[in-house]
């Protein structure tokens, strides 16, 4: 994609120079208004290409990181309502509207096993804490909308779940993640950067919203 955009810019510059030469030879000084209009159009197109190039460059490292879970196999063991976490003591106070939205969110504990598909990419490690909940109809490669809030991430070790200490892992991992959704959302997928993971997850209609003891 990056090479294609650079090629487009070079072709546009070459055509612009050639066009100026041809117009001047055919029309002489009368070509000046045409050249000015063409220059304005060229600037507008170049601006669009430039911003697309910047966006592509910005996305590249995140797409590379997300590729660690491209086509990963997800086994859903359970999705259960859970208590909402207490906010940290040092967290700034929310306004009334934001507090209402947060209070209305429903919290769930997702127990899943994620098995990455082997590939030769630069990133082999993946971070369970970077998993998000996205819409079921999210498009691959598009910037996904994060529907949820993640609180706690745990790893299955020696027959029990323990806190996520290392953050980054390779290979298959069973994880339990506490995540929230707006009250009107009943279906979602797991997302990892720009990657979309199957299957679509059905969430229970009723979930606890009382804060869990610290």
pTM score of the predicted model? 0.67
Query: How buried is 181 (Cβ within 10 angstroms: 0-12 exposed, 13-18 middle, 19+ buried)?
Result: buried
pLDDT computed for residue 99 by the predictor: 75
Q: 3-state SS string over 77-102?
A: EEEEECCECCCCCCCCCCCHHHHHHH
pLDDT computed for residue 7 by the predictor: 64
78-131 pLDDT, tens digit per residue, is: 999 998 887 766 666 566 777 777 788 899 999 999 999 987 777 789 999 999
152-171 pLDDT, tens digit per residue, is: 899 999 999 999 887 889 89
């Amino acid at each position: 994609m990056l090479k294609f955009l650079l090629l487009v810019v070079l072709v546009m510059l070459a055509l612009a120079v050639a066009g100026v030469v041809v117009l001047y030879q055919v029309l002489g000084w009368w070509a000046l208004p045409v050249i000015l209009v063409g220059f304005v159009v060229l600037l507008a197109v170049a601006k669009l290409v430039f911003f697309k190039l910047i966006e592509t460059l910005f996305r590249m490292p995140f797409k590379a990181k997300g590729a660690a879970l491209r086509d990963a196999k997800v086994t859903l063991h359970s999705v259960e309502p859970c208590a909402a976490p207490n906010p940290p003591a040092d967290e700034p106070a929310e306004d009334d509207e934001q507090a209402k939205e947060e209070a209305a969110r429903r919290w769930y504990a997702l127990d899943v096993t994620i098995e990455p598909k082997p590939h030769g990419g630069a990133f082999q490690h993946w971070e369970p804490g970077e998993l998000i909940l996205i819409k079921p109809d999210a498009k691959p490669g598009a910037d996904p909308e994060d529907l949820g809030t993640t609180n706690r991430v745990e790893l299955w070790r020696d027959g029990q779940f323990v806190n996520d200490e290392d953050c980054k892992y390779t290979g298959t991992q069973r994880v339990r993640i506490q995540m929230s959704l707006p009250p009107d959302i009943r279906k979602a997928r797991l997302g990892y950067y720009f990657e979309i993971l199957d299957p679509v997850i059905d969430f229970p209609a009723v979930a606890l919203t009382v804060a869990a003891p610290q």
